[in-house]
Amino acid sequence: MTREYQGIPVSDGIAIARAVVLRPAEIQPDPTPIQPEQAQAELAAFAAALEAAREQIQALYDSTCRRLGEERAEIFSAHLSVLEDPVLEETIQDKITQDHRSAVCAIAQGVEEIAAMFQGLQDPYLQERAADIRDVGRRILENAAGVPRVELSSLEEDSVVIARDLTPSETVTMDLSHTMGFVTELGGRTSHTAILSRSLEIPAVVGVSGLLDHIAGGDTVILDALEGRLLVDPTDDQVEDYRRRQSEFLAQRQALNALRDLPAQTRDGRVFSLCANIGGPGDVASAHKYGAEGVGLYRTEFLYMNNTHFPTEEEQFEAYRVVAAEMGKDRPVIIRTLDIGGDKELPYFQFDQEDNPFLGWRAIRMCLDREDVFKTQLRAILRASIFGKLLIMFPMIISLEEFQQAKALLETCKEELRAEGKSFDENIQTGIMVETPAAVMMADVLARHVDFFSIGTNDLTQYTLAVDRGNTRIAHRYDPLHPAVLRAIERVIQASHAAGKWTGMCGEFAGDPRATVLLAGMGLDEFSMTASSIPKIKQLLRSLDCTAARTLAKQALAASSVTEVRELLNLN
């Protein structure tokens, strides 16, 4: 009978294979205190176990270096540091001489104490180091207890490896050519299992607690790491269904991989930048997966919405830092400052009742009135700016004064941080979302002062056509292909180029395949969209001739109506 388990998917894919279950031998350290005269012998036993571990890890380092290269071997170099750490040695020696523990007991307790200390630290990277400490400790323990290591260096057939947790030294000796996927009881998104399986591009699901009590080696399993499911003893129908899903997945991935690292370059050589819109650190993986060259819009609202209080500087800093670091210095991230208003309910803040919250006290207007809230965000962004490449963008700008006020506040924050000795990117760029008709009309003036524009077509279309998308009676009038909107876009792009600046677009229109040829023809520099839309738009851009696109764009800009534009694009 099929059993089903749920866990956290950490690496995409589907595997259908036999399960191999890793059950390390149980070592029960004897807590009986030792006699003082036994201490010398126990110290010697510990020293021998330590030395043996050193030799084993050194050997692992050398063979991994040879087989898989220095980068993959680095983890063992870190393990050697842990092994040679005076604190590790002293802690265990003290347990033998002062607490009267046997070597095995002292090792078990000492390692756990140190690992727990790491686990208690704030930094997720350091928390993961607890796993390294336990890995090394386990090795020393097995040496001291005389327990042989379980090595999985030859799997006889394609297998899904199932374990409580997987340590680097276990996985490095594993026969990866037959490893189809991983499932562990412990672990999270940044655990070793997750990192390894993503780099090998094999499916993995972690956090399936209690699994080892319900599964035996040899069971056939389907590992669905798209949904985070494990099916044990599946029916023939399920197997067939999943084989089909597996082929689809692999075909899709192959197509994506082929496209991901290619530039968004038209047939006649014009290159565009394709970026992702994200809501937080959780979306970065997706951005990478689809080949985003950067983040054109980091919506910071979620930090405020999913919260019981205004997010503190530390909370924000952490989120921005992670995104900056994971995107890296070569992939710029544009952070949009708080863009929220009376239409959203914040449990900790009461907006006034407004007749028209969309034309009301929101976004930059709120931020300029609530300097405390605004400065907290700006400080957090500045502090995070050293970890990658960040740009700041202000929403809903209607005037130069607003932009200048915001910038002045930014300068104040910079001065404060300098006085506090905190570093930030001194050259951080600042731009604005162009989403109001006022900004469009003043684009030439604004272009002289900002570093870039990003067009927010959703709101721009609503404000320009005076249509509320949410109003079903008139929603059909909302169409960014309306020449009024196209002309607005054109005006903004031209104004930026005339001032030597660039324009991106983060509204839905950027990811709309019907619009691509027009936007390319108008010379939009950067298209930012939901990550999963990137491949399609990239494919379109790569098939375009930019000169022809420019001609088409000119015609669309001269059109008298949406109908004419749609005809030009063969959409009717």
Partner 1 sequence: MVETTVQIVNKTGLHARPASNLTNVAKKFKSRLTLIHDDKSGNAKSIINILTLDLNMGSHVVVRAEGEDENEALAAVADFISTLTE
Contacts of 406 (CB under 8 A, 6+ apart): 337, 364, 367, 368, 374, 394, 430
Quote the distance between the C-alpha of residue 115 and its chain's center: 26
558 interacts with partner 1 by CB under 8 A = no
d(Cα 287, Cα 209) in Å, to the nearest integer? 30
- CB of 127: closest distance to partner 1 in angstroms? 11
Site pattern 89..118 for partner 1 (x: CB under 8 A): -------------------------x--xx
Tell me which amino acid residue 207 is: G
d(Cα 429, Cα 390) in Å, to the nearest integer? 8
Helix 457-465 and helix 483-498, axial crossing angle in degrees, nearest 10: 120
- Among 133, 367, 485, 489, contact with partner 1 (rule: CB under 8 A): 133
- Among 24, 38, 63, 85, contact with partner 1 (rule: CB under 8 A): 85
125 interacts with partner 1 by CB under 8 A = yes
Which three-class secondary structure state does DSSP give residue 397?
A: coil
- Among 6, 81, 209, 306, contact with partner 1 (rule: CB under 8 A): 81
68 interacts with partner 1 by CB under 8 A = no
Q: 192 an active-site residue?
A: yes
Tell me which amino acid residue 548 is: A
For 119-139, the DSSP string reads HTSS-HHHHHHHHHHHHHHHH
Q: Which is nearer to partner 1, 124 or 282 (CB)?
A: 124
Helices (H) and strands (E) in the chain, counts: 22, 17
- CB of 336: closest distance to partner 1 in angstroms? 24
d(Cα 515, Cα 571) in Å, to the nearest integer? 11
Q: Which is nearer to partner 1, 59 or 87 (CB)?
A: 87
d(Cα 223, Cα 13) in Å, to the nearest integer? 8
Q: Which is nearer to partner 1, 47 or 121 (CB)?
A: 121
86 interacts with partner 1 by CB under 8 A = yes
82 interacts with partner 1 by CB under 8 A = yes
Q: Which is nearer to partner 1, 15 or 324 (CB)?
A: 324
Pairing assessment for the beta strands 8-11 and 204-206 based on DSSP bridges: antiparallel
Please state whether 538 falls in left (phi above 0), alpha (psi between -120 and 50) or beta: alpha
387 interacts with partner 1 by CB under 8 A = yes
422 interacts with partner 1 by CB under 8 A = yes
Site of tokens 């709120």? 366
136 interacts with partner 1 by CB under 8 A = no
423 interacts with partner 1 by CB under 8 A = yes
87 interacts with partner 1 by CB under 8 A = yes
Q: 105 an active-site residue?
A: no
Q: Of 105, 367, 413, 506, which residue is the catalytic one?
A: 506
- Among 123, 151, 248, 371, contact with partner 1 (rule: CB under 8 A): 123
Interface ranges with partner 1 (CB under 8 A) = 77-78, 81-82, 85-88, 114, 117-118, 121-123, 125-126, 129, 133, 386-387, 420-423
What is the set of active-site residues?
192, 506
